[in-house]
């Protein structure tokens, strides 16, 4: 009997022992896996300060929107670079000029492309005609001021300094001479790309774009040479927010070109000096975003935030032909301050992806008895019979309700977005065409006063008398031809 009891106790002890071993192993395995997962989130960083170089090479620097060829599989090398600082008056907008301080004669400055492990010997030259000393701070450089102290150079002099690129990524460079904000605000910034070993994956097209905010004594669009306004810069109230140094750098004849089906990579930087950029391409989605120009990749992004002094690499495939619109989605900057560009994509339509408009109908939310647009208390409805002066008075009130946001109270429009109505040859040449635009809308490219515009104006839900009034006001304002548009003329065009 005692023997049987001992045997039973021994078997129970063994069961508990094996259960303990099993649970201990399970917990230990779980902890090990957890530690392994956590360790997997910590990226191993190779020490590229010890990477050997093989041979010498003169680096190719390019002006925006172009970039040098990819580095590919080449080994780390000794690179020789030269960059000239030039203070030069150039166009900011149509009829508006500005004295830019530049790296390489452009805003942004020349694009620099290298690979991790490269040793760089950098010569910076300050043109003798310049008025001020300058330097360069490259965010890709590990060392005092990113090279700013070693590169400080007076007009008519040159400096050579050297550094090793030990971190891959896309980085901003800029002038860091006091007052630093003023030098950056005058256009002294650019991008340096440090590719990883083996380089970036190949794409069909690569473009270089940088945003910057500018502060002028004159308001947006005021013609002539505009000096820098330090007080506006302090207050962060830019008159211009532009891509690649001007309102027209990436539009019209300067629009970027691509074909449907091509893969596109944008190297996008934000020189600032003050504003962050909510960068978006209207009509596309970024397949990949290298966040802040580093190793982390985000997928399927519509709008990405890029801080002043920051950068990002953006990749997408242009699936269908269209005009893709580059904007800062802080949207008044795009349509009112110039942060707007175009990638013109040509090629065959793909209706499986985008079929365009397939039907237009009448929306009658309360049934077929609703036959006209509702009118609120603010609508100005002129009487059917009016004198010309009465038409002008009523038309001004309608214009200030429906038209001034795009075409401005003075009829000057918005540069590169909405055409002017003041002294507008397109308007004065054909009264019937002007009536048709209000009745039916307008899309596609038009030329007004020798400049091309490509935007959309929707049809206006106005009565014949209202169309007649607002057009009579426009024709008798801002140097136009003084025509009178009658309700009868509008009625004929509507029919």
* Binding-site positions for Cu cation: 134, 139, 174-175, 183, 188, 329
153 near 124, Cβ under 8 Å? yes
286 near 315, Cβ under 8 Å? yes
Q: How far apart are CA 60 and CA 82, in angstroms?
A: 9
| Pairing between β-strand 224-225 and β-strand 96-103 as defined by DSSP bridges | parallel
Contacts 24+ apart (CB under 8 A), 406-413: 406/457, 410/478, 411/474, 411/477, 411/478, 412/221
**Across-strand partners of 81?**
122
What six digits make up the tokens of 315?
Answer: 């990749």
**Across-strand partners of 445?**
454
Element (H, E) at 333: helix 332-337
Q: What is the DSSP letter of 320?
A: S
What six digits make up the tokens of 124?
Answer: 């910076």
Element (H, E) at 103: strand 96-103
Q: How far apart are CA 83 and CA 101, in angstroms?
A: 13
Dihedral-angle region of residue 264 (phi above 0 means left; psi in -120 to 50 means alpha; beta otherwise): beta
Alpha helix (H) ranges present in 250-311?
A: none
Q: How far apart are CA 100 and CA 88, in angstroms?
A: 5
User: Which residues are known binding-site members?
Assistant: 134, 139, 174-175, 183, 188, 329
What six digits make up the tokens of 436?
Answer: 């048709």
Cα-Cα-Cα-Cα dihedral sign, residues 428, 431, 437, 439: positive
* CA-closest candidate to residue 297, choices 200, 408, 202, 163: 200
What six digits make up the tokens of 275?
Answer: 């504003």
423 near 479, Cβ under 8 Å? yes
């Amino acid at each position: 009997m005692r023997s049987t009891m001992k045997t039973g106790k021994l078997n129970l002890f063994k069961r508990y022992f094996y259960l303990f071993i099993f649970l201990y192993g399970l917990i230990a395995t779980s902890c090990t896996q957890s530690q392994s997962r956590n360790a997997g989130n910590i990226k191993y960083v190779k020490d590229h300060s010890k990477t050997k170089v093989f041979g010498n090479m003169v680096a190719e620097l390019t002006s925006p929107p172009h970039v040098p060829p990819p580095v590919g599989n080449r080994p780390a090398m000794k690179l020789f670079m030269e960059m000239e600082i030039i203070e030069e008056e150039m166009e900011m907008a149509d009829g508006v000029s500005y004295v830019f301080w530049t790296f390489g004669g452009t805003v942004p400055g020349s694009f620099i492309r290298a690979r991790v492990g490269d040793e760089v010997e950098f010569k910076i030259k300050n043109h003798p005609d310049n008025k001020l000393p300058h330097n360069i701070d490259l965010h890709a450089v590990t060392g005092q001021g990113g090279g700013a102290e070693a590169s400080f150079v007076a007009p008519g002099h040159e400096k050579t300094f050297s550094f090793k690129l030990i971190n891959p990524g896309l980085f901003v460079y800029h002038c860091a001479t006091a007052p630093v904000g003023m030098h950056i605000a005058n256009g002294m910034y650019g991008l340096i790309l440090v590719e990883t070993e083996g380089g970036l994956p190949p794409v069909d097209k690569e473009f270089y774009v940088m945003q910057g905010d500018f502060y002028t004594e004159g308001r947006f669009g005021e013609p002539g040479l505009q000096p820098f306004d330090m007080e506006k810069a302090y207050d962060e109230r830019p008159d211009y927010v532009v891509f690649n140094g001007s309102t027209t750098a990436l539009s019209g004849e300067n629009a970027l070109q691509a074909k449907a089906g091509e893969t596109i990579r944008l190297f996008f930087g934000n020189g600032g000096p003050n504003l962050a950029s909510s960068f978006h391409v209207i009509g596309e989605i970024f397949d990949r975003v290298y966040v802040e120009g580093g190793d982390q990749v985000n997928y399927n992004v519509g709008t990405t935030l890029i801080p002043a002094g920051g950068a990002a690499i953006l990749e997408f495939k242009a699936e269908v032909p269209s005009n893709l619109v580059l904007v800062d989605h802080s949207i008044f900057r795009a349509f009112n301050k110039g942060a707007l560009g175009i990638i013109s994509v040509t090629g065959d339509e793909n209706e499986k992806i985008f079929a365009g408009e397939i039907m237009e109908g009448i929306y009658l939310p309360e049934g077929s008895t609703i036959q006209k647009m509702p009118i609120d208390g603010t609508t100005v409805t002129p009487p059917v019979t009016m004198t010309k002066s009465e038409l002008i008075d009523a038309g001004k009130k309608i214009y200030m309700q429906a038209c001034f946001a795009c075409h401005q109270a003075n009829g000057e429009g918005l540069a590169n977005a909405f055409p002017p109505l003041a002294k507008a040859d397109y308007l004065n040449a054909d009264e019937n065409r002007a009536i048709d635009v209000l009745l039916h809308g307008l899309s596609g490219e038009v030329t007004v006063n020798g400049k091309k515009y490509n935007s959309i104006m929707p049809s206006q839900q106005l009565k014949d008398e209202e169309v007649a009034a607002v057009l009579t006001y426009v024709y008798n304002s801002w140097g136009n031809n003084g025509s009178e548009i009658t309700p009868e003329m509008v009625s004929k065009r509507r029919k």
